[in-house]
Amino acid sequence: MQGLEEIKAKLDETDEKIIELIDKKRELIKLISKAKYKESTAEFICKEYMDFDIKRVVYQGVEGAYSHIVTKKLFPDVETENVNTFEDAINEVLNGNAKYCIIPIENSSAGIVSDVYDLLLKKDVVIVAEYDLHISHCLLGVRGAKLGDIRTVYSHPQALMQCGAYLKEHPGWSQISLLNTALSAKKVRDDKDISQAAIASRLSGDLYDLDVLDEGINRNVNNTTRFVVLSKDKIFSKKSNKLSLILELPHEKGMLYNILGIFVLNGLNLVKVESRPIPEKTFEYRFFIDIEGNLSLSNVSNVLEILKKEVTFLKILGNYCSVK
């Protein structure tokens, strides 16, 4: 019969072997994660979006639009051109006529720009940068017009929503949506009608020779619109700290809870979850998710590999950072 000390010695020996095996397992897991990363992100290359030869950038709207303001801030020395719609802007990039396009994606007061979210699903472009622009709307009228003259207000639907509280104070005003805030200002200038006004930027007022009848009419002093830079090149940088995904889940009880748990268990912070209806599936939804992370990290690649097995659809919208 073995003595107590001999048994303890064998237990210690066994513990050492177990620890050694655990260490080997950890190393193998790291190798697997790296291999999965290379496979799941094979289309993406690590390159700064400003390192390309950028000859042309497009934005939706006309000169003076908030998209135009952001475009000139980000690309002050690059040729810019305006197009009519968000889809036109994205198609210019896909067709190779422009390197990037600048698109608004959400507002802190009015929420997401749903048309843009739908286009991100359909179009083969990725987000390579984002920029937050503080928005202060003005009510613009023709020279000599007074606040009491106004009967009709033109602007983009998002701007009308952002100024909803102000507009409720003027129930006699008709509200008409146009494609763009600056386009609204241009219309007011061209029509030369003192009963018309536009909600747009102060820059639009200067460009189209309009008077500022009232300013800061969005009421929310923190009103901010987030713009994204879209590219057809699947790139990310070492500094990228936000990863955007689109997911479609099996329509099963607890599935969303389980999927969100995958991010938590891998130490990733979710910063946004947005749902959009799937038109061909009654009352089923796809999810747009933003997390903090970089495609070069093993926990990110591990999550992507798990998602491939668990969800019915997965698209990486981009890995990028905010431009200050």
Question: Do 123 and 235 fall within a single domain?
Answer: yes
* Residue-range definition of the domain harbouring residue 87: 45-134+225-320
In a domain, 40, yes or no: no
Does 295 score more than 80 pLDDT?
yes
Q: 8 lies in a domain? A: no
Q: How far apart are CA 164 and CA 280, in angstroms?
A: 33
CA pair distance 92, 103, nearest whole angstrom: 13
Is 191 part of a structural domain of the chain? Answer: yes
| End-of-domain residue from the set 171, 201, 217 | 217
- Pick from 108, 190, 118, 107: nearest CA to 154: 190
Same domain, 197 and 250: no
Question: Is residue 35 domain-resident?
Answer: no
The Cα–Cα gap between 92 and 75 comes to 17
128 & 167 share domain? no
| CATH number of 181's domain | 3.40.190.10
| Residues 258 and 123 placed together within one structural domain of the fold | yes
What is the pLDDT at residue 266?
93
* Average pLDDT of span 105-124: 92
Whether 261 maps to a domain, the answer reads yes
Supply the pTM of this predicted model: 0.80
Q: Tokens in use for 26?
A: 């950890």
From first CA to last CA, the distance across the chain in angstroms is 74
Q: Give the Cα separation of 308 and 315 in Å (integer).
A: 10
Are 119 and 239 within one domain? Answer: yes
CB atoms within 10 A of CB 267: 12
pLDDT > 70? residue 33: no
Contact 235, 216 (CB under 8 A): no
- Among 217, 234, 253, residue at a domain's last position: 217
Range with lowest mean pLDDT among 32-36, 64-68, 317-321? 32-36
* pLDDT value of residue 37: 44
As annotated, the active-site residues are: 225, 227
Do 312 and 189 share a structural domain? no
Distance separating alpha carbons of residues 141 and 130, to the nearest angstrom: 32
Total of domains in the chain: 2
**pLDDT tens per residue, range 196-241:** 999 999 999 999 999 999 999 998 888 899 999 999 999 999 999 9
Instruction: Classify residue 143 as exposed, middle or buried by CB count within 10 Å of its CB (0-12, 13-18, 19+).
Output: exposed
**Other Cβ atoms within 10 Å of 263 Cβ, number:** 22
- Residues 120 and 146 placed together within one structural domain of the fold: no
**Does one domain contain both 169 and 314?**
no
310 in any annotated domain: yes
Q: Alpha helices, DSSP H only, in 41-173? A: 66-74, 86-94, 114-122, 157-162, 164-168
DSSP state for residue 260 in the 8-state scheme:
H
248 shares a domain with 127: yes
Kindly state whether residue 13 falls inside one of the protein's structural domains: no
pLDDT at position 31, please? 60
168, 201, 217: which is the final residue of a domain? 217
**What pLDDT, on the 0 to 100 scale, is given for residue 1?**
59
Residues 6+ apart with CB under 8 A from 177: 154, 155, 156, 157, 160
Q: Say whether both 116 and 254 belong to one domain.
A: yes
Which tokens hold the place of 171?
């129930």
Q: Flag whether 39 is in a domain.
A: no
The pLDDT of residue 10: 78
Does residue 212 sit in the same domain as residue 248? no
Separation CA 189–CA 196 (nearest Å): 9
Q: Span 158-163, mean pLDDT?
A: 93
Claim to verify: residue 71 and residue 127 sit in the same structural domain = yes
CB 194 within 8 A of CB 144: yes
The residue type found at 158 is: Q
